[in-house]
Structure 1
């Protein structure tokens, strides 16, 4: 029996792709190995969002090959920079060819090498029509589409995922119902940009949320990242959908820079003022909103003044969490052809912003201490204890709790990145 291990990196979208491949392999008669050491083949489902990530992927593939494993490379890296893939791999599949994973191993077993990457732009693959491996847990990722409608000058992911293809609402709702019937309590809606969901099929994210929250049961929905230039087109409708208690009060809205000229160079198609307008509208109508944003420091052309504008934006808006990334040029992107900033300057700005984000996060989290909030228990935490998520998706560590339970918790401690709490015993 040929044993296969699938390891996925990067976003929750990639995690879902990995589970699809696992289901296809099982259906084809292959055995899923418990770990890479016990596998004959390792499928490396790659991410290529940043240069350090690409290096990590290439290194992992080499390590597996050097240890005698046969490797099938899939995911974004095979599109973004195929030259980074070790030529010794036994097969290469693009993101829209994961339905051929069993075929790739069959070809490799016969001494061949299946490479299915070309023609992906024209290929239409609705992944919600493919099987999926149901793993134990509380949270289940439901992809709602693939690709995006943006043309950011620094992003290479769009070379892999392509132009937006939204999945049909009825398929998404069917998967949500199936996940809930199997005992999952949290649904994660995932896409490259959930904000433009449905624009290609005559609907939008707000309408999809209304359909999902209308499903019977006590469950929670976490909405993935959405870009401001799309959200602003149906802002009031989206906020109305967020009023349902099943939707976490969690908004992941990347700003990337606090300077309008840099945003223009990035190809982001919105202004700082529009970003702030969205945040103010959400905070005005959704109390307790947990705002997450992304910022890239050191983008080509970022002057001291432009960076200071970003710092001032952070101080004004005070997000709960900021994902700070140092700009790194990605192959084939427009921005990679522009003059790059010195590495020392990028590091200096990154460190300053990192310190500021931790300070703001701590100050916000401290306000939760002594409050009682609803928490969905997830399971064993990486920081010890039992991990859960609050009503607005803040991470909280508990001393006890049963995965899947919705419980009331009194918050006893706050750090910059997570909370601690104790279960409030019901009378």
Structure 2
């Protein structure tokens, strides 16, 4: 039997697909990258934003139309968040909920034989140390916990991922050690909120980062998104952990709005001043830190004055990466009962922030032109060459290098999203 897996969404979802593939491989089921030759197709869905929802809905509909004889299984967040819509658009599809990945082989085999199997619901089963199938193995994703402690009014993902469930540090370190021994050069620690790690188990994110970074080998560690609320009482120790030479000088710290009123309406649990204090400490202690943040444009209670405060905040902190999202109602989210900002206002604000975003990130990158950087080559470029990462996790295009190697390059040009370089020495 041959199975094709297509994944939408975040790093955590990518790891879920790797677990599904690993379970299938252990059961002697082939994973292929050509949908035409597949007997069973698995679509691992993301539901965090409306455009992504529309993509996965369209994909499921088109697969049924174009491949009527193939069996289809839907996985990911849609299974838990919107089973009613999934039933409507795919009445003959099987399901694998994000907490039921250990049953992947059983579901695939039954679906292949003509049954419609639907497994959903929550589980405390660990996702660390389980079988994973990764194509080249250079970048290894480890899910350090699942679920969150948040109550954000705009979010529906928490309904799919459930309450916080942290995995033991010893297990995470064990998986990292094995991955490095098998050739991984980048370990990505991921979660819905890495800063929440250990709040339910008594362990600490800072200790986890240090223990992984202290493993033998030439590799880098990337720490995933951290909710500002959950980093407040552990800032100094996390800074100390990220200072480790094997950890990227990188933090993903979403703010969502520069207005305290909107943050309160969103139930984010922190203020703009607290966020600014966190950023200030990181930049003071790690001058080359890359700050990534998220902004939601046009939250229902966002006034023109609130929007102006967001603009002011971005111009003050100048994030190296800004992920912009236009607010849209999500199924089950508290804010979905509110009246949306008029489309013309949303469009105007989004366009304005997009221009600011491009200018800030371009200005940040251009400052690196002419510098010598030690970079880690992590993947092949889609248009030729290779993609490497600086110690601050900024992508660099480089030619004539080996995957998984550390090389020195001179930065020759910069765009708003990446750097260009020439090789100095291997």
TM-score bin, normalised by smaller chain = over 0.9
- CA distance in structure 2 between the aligned counterparts of 1:390 and 1:221, rounded to whole angstroms: 12
- CA distance in structure 2 between the aligned counterparts of 1:132 and 1:374, rounded to whole angstroms: 30
Pair 1:11-2:14 in alignment: no
Pair 1:88-2:91 in alignment: yes
Pair 1:290-2:293 in alignment: no
- CA distance in structure 1 between the aligned counterparts of 2:51 and 2:386, rounded to whole angstroms: 31
Quick check: 2:8–2:45 contact (8 Å CA) kept in 1?
Answer: yes
Query: What is aligned with 2:414?
Result: 414
Query: What is aligned with 1:176?
Result: 176
Query: What is aligned with 1:56?
Result: 55
Deviations along 1:243-299, one digit per CA (max 9) or x if unpaired, are 111000011000000000000011100000011101000000012111110000010
Tell me: CA distance 1:110–1:407, structure 2 relative to 1, closer, same or farther (3 Å): closer
Quick check: 1:137–1:378 contact (8 Å CA) kept in 2?
Answer: no
Quick check: 1:372–1:408 contact (8 Å CA) kept in 2?
Answer: yes
* CA RMSD between the two structures: 1.2
5+ residue gaps, structure 2, are none
Quick check: 1:73–1:89 contact (8 Å CA) kept in 2?
Answer: no
Quick check: 2:142–2:190 contact (8 Å CA) kept in 1?
Answer: yes
Query: What is aligned with 2:259?
Result: 259
Pair 1:193-2:190 in alignment: no
5+ residue gaps, structure 1, are none
- 1:316-327 equivalence runs, <5 A: 316-327=316-327
Q: CA deviation at 1:395?
A: 0.6
Quick check: 1:64–1:70 contact (8 Å CA) kept in 2?
Answer: no
- CA distance in structure 2 between the aligned counterparts of 1:256 and 1:74, rounded to whole angstroms: 28
- CA distance in structure 2 between the aligned counterparts of 1:58 and 1:360, rounded to whole angstroms: 35
Q: CA deviation at 1:134?
A: 3.5
- 1:346-425 equivalence runs, <5 A: 346-425=346-425
Deviates further, 305-314 or 391-400: 391-400
- CA distance in structure 2 between the aligned counterparts of 1:259 and 1:400, rounded to whole angstroms: 47
- CA distance in structure 1 between the aligned counterparts of 2:97 and 2:389, rounded to whole angstroms: 34
Quick check: 1:72–1:89 contact (8 Å CA) kept in 2?
Answer: no
- CA distance in structure 1 between the aligned counterparts of 2:212 and 2:28, rounded to whole angstroms: 34
Tell me the SS of whatever aligns to 2:291. Answer: strand
Pair 1:206-2:209 in alignment: no
Tell me the SS of whatever aligns to 1:128. Answer: coil
Deviations along 1:134-175, one digit per CA (max 9) or x if unpaired, are 321421111111111101000000000011101111110011
Tell me the SS of whatever aligns to 1:424. Answer: strand
Quick check: 1:253–1:292 contact (8 Å CA) kept in 2?
Answer: yes
- CA distance in structure 1 between the aligned counterparts of 2:314 and 2:83, rounded to whole angstroms: 37
- 1:305-324 equivalence runs, <5 A: 305-324=305-324
- CA distance in structure 2 between the aligned counterparts of 1:150 and 1:177, rounded to whole angstroms: 31
TM-score, structure 1 as length reference: 0.97
- CA distance in structure 1 between the aligned counterparts of 2:226 and 2:384, rounded to whole angstroms: 31
Tell me the SS of whatever aligns to 1:346. Answer: helix
TM-score, structure 2 as length reference: 0.97
